[in-house]
Amino acid sequence: MREKIKKTGLLLSLLVFFLSSASWLLAGGDLLIKNATILTVTGNTIPNGDVLVINGVIKQIGQNLTAPAGVRIIEANGRYLMPGIIDTHTHIALSGTNEGTDAVTPEVTMAEVVNADDTSIFTALSGGVTMVHTMHGSANVIGGTNVVLKLKWGKPSEELIVKEAYPTLKFALGENVKQSNRTLLPGRPQRYPATRMGANALIRSELMRAKDYMAAWDRYEQLKKSKNPPANLLPPRKDLRLETLADLLRGKLIARCHAYVAPEMIEFLNLSREFGFKIGAFEHAWEAYKITNELKAAGVGISVFIDSWAYKMEAAEGIAYNAAYCTQKGILVSINSDSGERIRRLFNEAGKAVKYGLTQDEALKLITINAAKQLGVDRLVGSIEVGKQADLALFSQHPMSAYTRCEMTIIEGDVYFDREALLKERAAASTKKGGLL
Amino acid sequence: MKIKNMKVNRIKPGLLKNKNQLVFLAALLGLTLLGIYSFPLPAAAQTEDRTEVVAIVGARIVPVTGPVIESGSILIKNGRIADLGANISIPSGAKVIEARGLVAYPGMIDSYSWLGLEEISGVRATVDNRETGRINPQVKAIEALRYDSMHIPIARANGIVAAVVAPSGGLISGQSTLVKLDGWTNREMVIKESLAMIIELPALRRGRGEFAGFRGQQPQVTTEKTLDELRQIFEKARMYEKRREAARKNILLPPPDFDEASHFLLPVVKGELPVIFSVHADKDILQTIKFVQEEKIKAIFYGVEQGFKVAKEIKEAGIPCIIGSLYSLPPVWEDGYDALFLNPVILNQAGVKISFSSSSASTAKDLPYHAAKAAAFGLKPEEALKAVTIYPAEIFGVDKLLGSLEPGKTASIVLADGDLLELGTKIQKVFIDGKEVSLENRYTELLKKFEQREADK
Amino acid sequence: MNKHFKKRQPASVRPLTTAFLILVLVASSINMAQAGRAEVKPAYALVNCRIFPVAQPVIEKGTIVIRDGLIEAVGPAGKIQIPEDAELIEASGLNAYPGLISAHTNLFLETKEQSQTATPEEYLEALSQPAEPKEFPWLQIVEKIKPKKQTVEAYHRAGITTVVVAPHEGIFQGQSVVLNLNSDQVSKMVLAQPWALHINFTTERGVYPSSPMGTLAFLRQKFYDTQHYSQHLQKYRQSPQFLKRPEYDPFLEALLPFVIDKKPIVFQCNNLEEIKRALKLIKEFKLNAVLTGCNEAWRVSQQLKSASIPLLVTLDFRAPASSVYAQQGQAIREKAEKELYPANASNLAKEKINFSLTSFGLNDTNFVKNLRAAIKAGLPADQALRALTIEPARTLGLDKQLGSLEPGKIANLILTKGELFDEKTSIVKVMVDGTLFTYEEKGQ
């Protein structure tokens, strides 16, 4: 595509304008990774392969590639190169998690509270994770809008945000929202909703309010444009809460719904049909294996743990076969961490899916291309293909093996985690004061 | 025999017309009685006859304490490994289990878990691992162990045959137990009813100390103070015993009032019952070593996140270390992102005997993956395997029964389709004490139920 | 005094002048009968001192004439005539500087105990009470201050003669006041009331908004509501017929002067992200804003440069909890608080960004200590002086009255033995609004 544009001068100037506003594209690094076992994810595995990265984009994949002078060469020595891991459900790199006071707070915007200083970013990089969908928590029926970040450790917060990702709105159902695992204190009465039926009723009423809000603005616009607008015409009060819900109804936002038990998901699918909004995925979805037909028919995917279950009643019928079984039934499945600790072994979690019925290649997809598809960024990341962004992770063994460790994590051609360099630093420091080894 | 005779005597002469009928009745009775005495009541269906001879043939055998046998057989008799090798003779009548393409391992041992004490961690009614109060040497985990916990079959189905089930909380949490993961009641599961006393020393302080959102800092009790407190408690127990002993010898002396804590700590202070110390920071480990030596008690360490800093001292003290769950972040940032993983590697290289634990109930099946994680960061794979088999067996004094595939040991064997510590490996069969145990569990039950939905269409 | 009048007035006006004089005398006698009314202050002449006027180059040996609380004249020794009625203050060997201005303090306010010291029982007790939002956009902090003589003197010893006292609770904290530290009586001290609306990026507990993103949505919604309210009010004023009247809202009423009429709003930014969040809000609602706190300003210098907003930079070097330097263990945090944060101001200076320095979060002793550390870390001394004199005066809109030693300005000045920011320097005399305070030398 880039060659085509070079031929057309007019399009070139347009492209330059477009690219300059997405300055990260031009700012990416250059690398040549040699002799790696390349797990492309969407194609065949390439043994002894090379990957050339220019300006943060994968330029070439092949054998015996050469790089322009000055480009850093990374000798993989047979080690495994995979696309950078994408975690579709976390809460890292944010200044807060829950606006847990009201049950409906769609007006809060997680993109405004990105905290690029969070050391969890480094922890995630040490586990090969390059991109996260970091979210409002599950304290509310309707939480807030979420944000997708690239884990560019050390860069300012605004440079982490991935603008191309689907804009998402967090919904939650079940025990967290009902606050059923909380001790009630006098002076703090039980918040509505206290039941699952209350939660759904709340969503319905709020969306109906949002519809009324949209209608009020339409009425105002109509009157304003009319030949004799009334003298007492005032615009309606701008309500950020209802604006966000209106965006959901307009299709500008998609819902990501935290739901565990099957009836929650069935009913949320009904709500989405009732109001015409789109669902990006169900989060956690422990009982998805019970309703694969409904999920498949609705074309809604799930973002799940592999086997971290039995911590709440609603997770008591979660089975480790869930992810594999749903994948086999044709549902788009990703594995997430929802934890600043589990994020650094997300590749192990995916590896477990092999025990429960998937091949290693299928399991690899759960943390790469599937996640990218769910976030709407599969054109840019999620596999090793020419033209995609160079978000890569280098592992000592096959990433689906229990014996592997992440050695290097690269985002858009820049190395953000380098175990070898880290060990050298430690050795230098420890000669001074008797360190780790 | 007596009964038989009595029976015969009661038969009216008129009923038995001839000798043949007599013999027939006697045989029938004999068989019935044989049946009654051979098959233990009340459990019937599951239990197989352990006098049965089983031969696992054609497997790749990893004995752990000896070289790998590329293709061989294991002979099981009376619940024990009778023989194993590349070419052993298999008696006729033996039940043959074809194991070509499979690998035979000793069953794994989880060195610290809450199996049976916790069903749904967020639902208090189902949690029994943490008693209230600080000093509870009297509580015994075996007495609360819910043997039909849904987590036990899941762990077993991943090749874990035995587990330490430990109480926790407070300072002296109670007595842990070592159980095999098979049995119709908790008592049938017991290997060692009272394995070790659990004592929990203060945790490593993390950057933000929060108690349910409370941002104040609880004054952290130091390990030094805690060990002082323990010294006093142990001394009190010794004195208690002395007074009781004196009263036993001299009828005029009134015995001391029953002191629960002292009574149940006596086996500890006498050096009979070991203590598993949950200890974490390097300075605390050193202090605890000193304490153990001064008090002359048997000790095992658990947790030891900063053990790598004092590996030499731990080795010299000869104290084995149970590694806590590696599903955690290093408690001290400065130790490095991989400190938790390097810890067992460094301890092992220094000669410390280590074993791994799941430190869980719901993810107890992940025991092998903690070992593999350490291997990913430098632990020799053979050592990683030993740390979930023979090393825990040695640490808990059951190495004559478990931990490796050797003649004489119990036939606690796992047949896997690959490396036991690998994520993708599927366990095909598990034997505990020579009996092949069911691999059905909650996961498989629910899966089968909903696979049915497809079939119903 | 007569001499002056004779010089200034033509003869024809003399009877008028006499009448006026009598009136003044009568008025002053009446004034003196009423306690607290502004008395006529004496005239002073500080002679032979080294003068740092700030607005002009240093005068090696000069004279400052003060009359009735105002600077009458400043200049080299030979050029300034010393009035007869001026009390002579021999100042040879001493330096004279404009009194320092700390444009953000919580002085004279009773601050509640922080929950850090609460026991679990107290905390749970507090949790059991129904939560009430604590928002006070209407609060005039001048009504809450209780000045104490010792505090005034302590701040004098740090060289500070003017302070902004700002409210400190809630998100919309209330409105601040500018005070001259000339006594312990509020009415005498007030320079400007109110100065600005103060907003802090904090959260409520147990009630909306209880999270940083909730606070941002809350702020934004309030600003929109103020705009809508103003629109409605205006329309209602113009033609109320057939228009439902706007419901009176004291919160929005309090915000009108700041959001609509663009009176100054001060945003407290406790880390670099809050600076970015403030800049975004300021741009969106076109606010007349000042940023305070700004202890991580150097990390956002490019954005601050292009935004060109007045900055009140604290000399409190503690790393915020969210900072990367505070999450990697004690050693790194201490290193950052010793090396990085003290260099904040000097980094801004290198980027040619204007700023004031404040004592926010500090007491008089560590203000001085940290000021010296900031200079040691690379902030030029003369810039430090400007950051505590003319810059804050400008930001407060009081640069015609304060911030330099120039005729006509208020007589706020300090006399030091030694260079102002040196270790061994002590403050010998302080003058505020023409009232002279003498301090003994304390071996520092």
Q: How far is C120 from chain A (nearest CA, A)?
A: 14
Q: How far is A263 from chain C (nearest CA, A)?
A: 31
User: Nearest CB to B334: which of C115, C123, C331?
Assistant: C331
**Pairing relation of β-strands C100-105 and C160-165?**
parallel
Alpha helices, H only, B321-409: 339-349, 367-376, 381-386, 390-395
In a domain, A92, yes or no: no
Do C170 and C33 fall within a single domain? no
Do C66 and C29 fall within a single domain? no
Phi, psi of B394 (to 5 degrees): -70, -45
Q: How far is A242 from chain C (nearest CA, A)?
A: 11
Contacts of A122 in chain B (CB under 8 A): 337
Q: For residue A15, name the pLDDT band (cuts at 50, 70, 90).
A: very low
Size of interface A-C (CB pairs under 8 A): 119
Q: How far is B69 from chain A (nearest CA, A)?
A: 23
Question: Distance (Å, rounded) from C-alpha A7 to C-alpha A14?
Answer: 13
Res. B27: pLDDT tops 90: no
CB-based contact C67:C83 (threshold 8 Å): yes
Alpha helices, H only, A299-409: 322-328, 346-352, 360-365, 369-375
Give B 293-352 residues with CB within 8 A of chain C. Answer: 332-334
What are the CA-CA distances from residue B314 to residues A291, B288, B299 (Å)?
Answer: 53, 10, 11
Do C190 and C170 fall within a single domain? yes
Q: What's the pLDDT score for residue B33?
A: 60
Record: contact B216-C329, CB cut-off 8 A: no
Task: Check if A179 contacts C (Cβ < 8 Å).
Answer: no
| Weakest mean pLDDT among A50-54, A252-256, B11-15, B152-156 | B11-15
In a mutational test of the A interface, the residue from B341, B417, B423 whose CB has the highest number of chain A CBs within 10 Å is: B423
Record: contact B333-C329, CB cut-off 8 A: yes
Task: Check if B150 contacts A (Cβ < 8 Å).
Answer: yes
| Weakest mean pLDDT among A275-284, A338-347, B377-386, C131-140 | C131-140
Q: Which tens digit of pLDDT belongs to each residue from A274-298?
A: 999 999 999 999 999 999 999 999 9
Q: How far is A238 from chain C (nearest CA, A)?
A: 7
Written as one letter, the residue type at A308 is S
Do A253 and A275 fall within a single domain? yes
Do C5 and C59 fall within a single domain? no
Do C115 and C176 fall within a single domain? yes
Q: What is the overall mean pLDDT for chain B?
A: 90
In a domain, A100, yes or no: no
In a domain, A106, yes or no: no
In a domain, A359, yes or no: yes
Edge-to-edge, what's the strand order for the sheet holding C100-105?
Answer: C100-105, C160-165, C177-180, C190-192
Q: Which tens digit of pLDDT belongs to each residue from B409-424?
A: 999 999 999 999 999 9
Give B 115-144 residues with CB within 8 A of chain A. Answer: 119-123
Task: Check if B16 contacts A (Cβ < 8 Å).
Answer: no
Phi, psi of C120 (to 5 degrees): -55, -35
Predicted structure pTM score: 0.89
Task: Check if B426 contacts A (Cβ < 8 Å).
Answer: yes
Identify whether A235 is preceded by a cis peptide bond (ω within 30 of 0). no
Do C348 and C378 fall within a single domain? yes
For residue A77, the domain's CATH number is 2.30.40.10
For residue C141, the domain's CATH number is 3.20.20.140
Nearest chain C residue to A145, by CA: C213
Chains that touch C (3 or more CB pairs under 8 A): A, B
Do C60 and C166 fall within a single domain? no
In a domain, A175, yes or no: yes
Task: Check if C328 contacts A (Cβ < 8 Å).
Answer: yes
Written as one letter, the residue type at B380 is K
Do the interacting molecules here have an ipTM over 0.95? no
What are the CA-CA distances from residue A186 to residues C128, C133, C208 (Å)?
Answer: 5, 18, 18
Q: What's the pLDDT score for residue B42?
A: 42
DSSP code string of B123-149: -GGGB-SB-SSSB-TT-BGGGT--TT-
Return the exposure string of B254-292: e unless at least 16 CB atoms fall within 10 Å of the residue's CB, then b.
Answer: eeeeebeebebbbbbbeeebbbbbbbbbbebbbbbbebb
Contacts of C321 in chain B (CB under 8 A): 208
Structure tokens at A123: 């922890």
In a domain, A116, yes or no: no
CB-based contact C323:C271 (threshold 8 Å): yes
Q: What's the pLDDT score for residue C21?
A: 62
Region A98-110: mean pLDDT is 96
Q: Which tens digit of pLDDT belongs to each residue from B200-228?
A: 999 886 544 333 334 444 557 899 999 99
CB-based contact A162:A168 (threshold 8 Å): no
- Containing structural domain, residue C330: 100-402
Do A205 and A340 fall within a single domain? yes
Question: Distance (Å, rounded) from C-alpha A379 to C-alpha A397?
Answer: 27
Do C17 and C137 fall within a single domain? no
What residues contact B38, with CB distance under 8 A and at least 6 apart? none
**How does DSSP classify residue C378?**
T
Do A388 and A373 fall within a single domain? no
Question: Distance (Å, rounded) from C-alpha C293 to C-alpha A111?
Answer: 23
Contacts of A186 in chain C (CB under 8 A): 128
Question: Distance (Å, rounded) from C-alpha C416 to C-alpha A214?
Answer: 67
For residue A362, the domain's CATH number is 3.20.20.140
Q: In tens digits, what is the pLDDT along chain C, a chain of 444 residues? A: 444 444 455 555 566 666 666 655 555 555 455 555 678 899 999 999 999 999 999 999 999 999 999 999 999 999 999 999 999 999 999 999 999 999 999 999 987 654 455 677 777 777 777 777 889 999 999 999 999 999 999 999 999 999 999 999 999 999 999 999 999 999 999 999 999 999 999 999 888 999 999 999 999 999 999 999 999 999 999 999 999 999 999 999 999 999 999 999 999 999 999 999 999 999 999 999 999 999 999 999 999 999 999 999 999 999 999 999 999 989 999 999 999 999 999 999 999 999 999 999 999 999 999 999 999 999 999 999 999 999 999 999 999 999 999 999 999 999 999 999 999 999 999 999 999 999 966 544
- Containing structural domain, residue A79: 1-84+382-419
Nearest chain B residue to A345, by CA: B327
Record: contact B422-A317, CB cut-off 8 A: no
Question: Distance (Å, rounded) from C-alpha B391 to C-alpha B399?
Answer: 8
Do A240 and A150 fall within a single domain? yes
CB-based contact C198:C138 (threshold 8 Å): no
Provide the 3-class DSSP secondary structure of residue A288: helix
Record: contact B332-C117, CB cut-off 8 A: no
**Pairing relation of β-strands B80-85 and B69-77?**
antiparallel
Nearest chain A residue to C241, by CA: A232
Q: Which tens digit of pLDDT belongs to each residue from A63-74?
A: 999 999 999 999
Do A258 and A160 fall within a single domain? yes
Q: What's the pLDDT score for residue A14?
A: 43
Chains that touch B (3 or more CB pairs under 8 A): A, C
Higher per-residue confidence, A325 vs C125? A325
Contacts of C272 in chain A (CB under 8 A): 117
Alpha helices, H only, B127-222: 151-156, 186-189
| Weakest mean pLDDT among B169-183, B184-198, B434-448, C16-30 | C16-30
What's the domain count of chain C?
A: 3
Q: For residue A189, name the pLDDT band (cuts at 50, 70, 90).
A: confident
What residues contact A203, with CB distance under 8 A and at least 6 apart? A141, A142, A171, A271
Question: Exposed, middle or buried by CB within 10 Å (0-12, 13-18, 19+), for A15?
Answer: middle
Question: Distance (Å, rounded) from C-alpha A132 to C-alpha A136?
Answer: 13
Question: Max CA-CA distance within chain B?
Answer: 95
In a domain, A372, yes or no: yes
Residue C325: CB atoms within 10 A of its CB come to 18
Q: Which tens digit of pLDDT belongs to each residue from B295-344?
A: 999 999 999 999 999 999 999 999 999 999 999 999 899 999 999 999 99
Size of interface A-B (CB pairs under 8 A): 105
Q: Which tens digit of pLDDT belongs to each residue from A229-266?
A: 998 899 999 999 999 999 999 999 999 999 999 999 99
Do C372 and C274 fall within a single domain? yes
Question: Max CA-CA distance within chain C?
Answer: 82
Record: contact C120-B211, CB cut-off 8 A: yes
What's the domain count of chain A?
A: 2
Do C34 and C46 fall within a single domain? no
Written as one letter, the residue type at C357 is L
Region A159-182: mean pLDDT is 95
Do C76 and C181 fall within a single domain? no
Do A369 and A405 fall within a single domain? no
Radius of gyration of chain C (CA): 25
Structure tokens at B27: 């045989």
Question: Exposed, middle or buried by CB within 10 Å (0-12, 13-18, 19+), for B50?
Answer: middle
Do C125 and C147 fall within a single domain? yes
Q: For residue B455, name the pLDDT band (cuts at 50, 70, 90).
A: confident
Task: Check if A118 contacts C (Cβ < 8 Å).
Answer: yes
Q: What's the pLDDT score for residue B210?
A: 34
Question: Distance (Å, rounded) from C-alpha B318 to C-alpha A327?
Answer: 50
Q: What's the pLDDT score for residue C2?
A: 46
Question: Distance (Å, rounded) from C-alpha A414 to C-alpha A417?
Answer: 9
Q: Which tens digit of pLDDT belongs to each residue from B43-88?
A: 434 445 556 899 999 999 999 999 999 999 999 999 999 999 999 9
Question: Distance (Å, rounded) from C-alpha B72 to C-alpha B318?
Answer: 37
Q: Both ends of chain C: CA-CA distance in Å?
A: 42
How remote is the C-alpha of B52 from its chain's centroid?
26
Q: Return the ∠ at Cα B262 (arms to B256 and B267), rounded to 5°.
A: 120
Res. B5: pLDDT tops 60: no
In a domain, A162, yes or no: yes
Q: Which tens digit of pLDDT belongs to each residue from A384-437?
A: 999 999 999 999 999 999 999 999 999 999 999 999 999 999 999 877 654 333
Q: What's the pLDDT score for residue C166?
A: 97
**Pairing relation of β-strands C70-76 and B435-437?**
unpaired
